[in-house]
Structure 1
């Protein structure tokens, strides 16, 4: 490791990750994510096999999902709870393998969805939903499924703790406690917002943009379109 290389066990900042120039990857909810489009299912299997071999050599274990026409990968260093230089190196290696097989990256299609619950009893809910979903409670109190069968769940205080926006929002038209956080690439957020509005949604607030936009459906159920921008 060169003298100026980042400590492989130090969590990188958003700015450092952006500066790494990972064209195929974006930071979504604290993780690097990419989606590649192989020519067919067999090519996808080949790509996954090559990534698996490279990951074993690097002692790294990316989350990998193979479907017809897509290979989705997520990278993070669980020992530090974020992205490190190890993940950046692995991302570059995976991009090179995808390029060798002609599997192009689809940044516009990147999405990571999480559910947030407004509650002051997060610890109790975490235990309950972990049991219900057969998942685990992280050190930060979130519920996650290592097998990727269920989305991540997290908790927000009823007074709004955890929100990046200090601007009060108008009261929703319906009683709601669960909401979706939908993470997208920063440059894709305007298009995703426009698609929501064109589909009949309404913009509730852009006070925290480009960190997140609050939108709601035709009955007032709210969600957030989130990016990695303006975050630590």
Structure 2
């Protein structure tokens, strides 16, 4: 296998990247920098090692943390080159005394029930300031969540776990992606905050929840996919 070929979920797990979690075809982590200056120091280090490797990383720096993502969209997921870069980034963070906080790693995706994906893709790409990639709106700047389409099933068995009927039509829903070991804790936190479990039949791939008003969302993990 070359450095540019997409790795399987099992191969990513075997890499032993304790600081990182696979989410939506990327490796993601959050470093608890503690303050903005320390975060800037780590950003500089990441820039240096990524440039030296001919790679790049997506960085979101806030006052007390730094979220980092690495991946290879052209390969459709995570490659060995991404794994190697993630490992070097962890080494750089450790050398600065900065620890990873993977418990809060999250990726939000918006799902729309629609039978006309082509027309909606163009509309939402324009609305969100992105472009259509692979039939879906894509924002290369990372400013907005990813959007995907949930088309009406052709056969009843395509619907997945049967869910109770809603009293109203809901066409948008959140898919909240978390690491495999964070799925159940995130679901429980939502339930403790007033949510309701609609279905766990597809768990640990996803759980369907409702907010107090009955709007449904899913907590998703890479498990069992």
TM-score with structure 2 setting the length: 0.95
Summarize the Cα distance change of 1:198–1:137 in structure 2 as closer, same or farther, 3 Å threshold.
same
Q: Hey, what does 1:3 align to over in structure 2?
A: none
Instruction: Please give the secondary structure, in 2, of the residue aligned with 1:108.
Output: helix
TM-score with structure 1 setting the length: 0.92
Q: Distance in 2 between matches of 1:174 and 1:104?
A: 45
Runs of 5+ unmatched residues, structure 2: none
Per-residue CA deviation, residues 133-188 of structure 1 (Å, 9 max, x unaligned), is 1112112x221211111111110102289x99722211123310000000111111
- CA contact under 8 A between 1:41 and 1:68: conserved in structure 2? yes
Q: Distance in 1 between matches of 2:60 and 2:170?
A: 32
Per-residue CA deviation, residues 45-77 of structure 1 (Å, 9 max, x unaligned), is 010011011111111111111111111011111
Q: Hey, what does 2:57 align to over in structure 1?
A: 62
Q: Distance in 2 between matches of 1:160 and 1:93?
A: 46
Per-residue CA deviation, residues 25-47 of structure 1 (Å, 9 max, x unaligned), is 00111211000011311110010
Q: Distance in 1 between matches of 2:190 and 2:179?
A: 16
Q: Hey, what does 1:207 align to over in structure 2?
A: 201
- CA contact under 8 A between 2:153 and 2:159: conserved in structure 1? no
Runs of 5+ unmatched residues, structure 1: 1-5
Q: Does 1:175 align with 2:169?
A: yes
Matches within 5 A, 1:66-215: 66-139=61-134, 141-159=135-153, 166-215=160-209
Report how many aligned residue pairs link the two structures: 224
- CA contact under 8 A between 1:118 and 1:155: conserved in structure 2? yes
Q: Hey, what does 1:18 align to over in structure 2?
A: 13
RMSD of equivalent CA atoms:
1.6
Q: Distance in 2 between matches of 1:107 and 1:95?
A: 12
The structure with the greater share of residues assigned to helix is: 2
Q: Distance in 2 between matches of 1:227 and 1:164?
A: 20
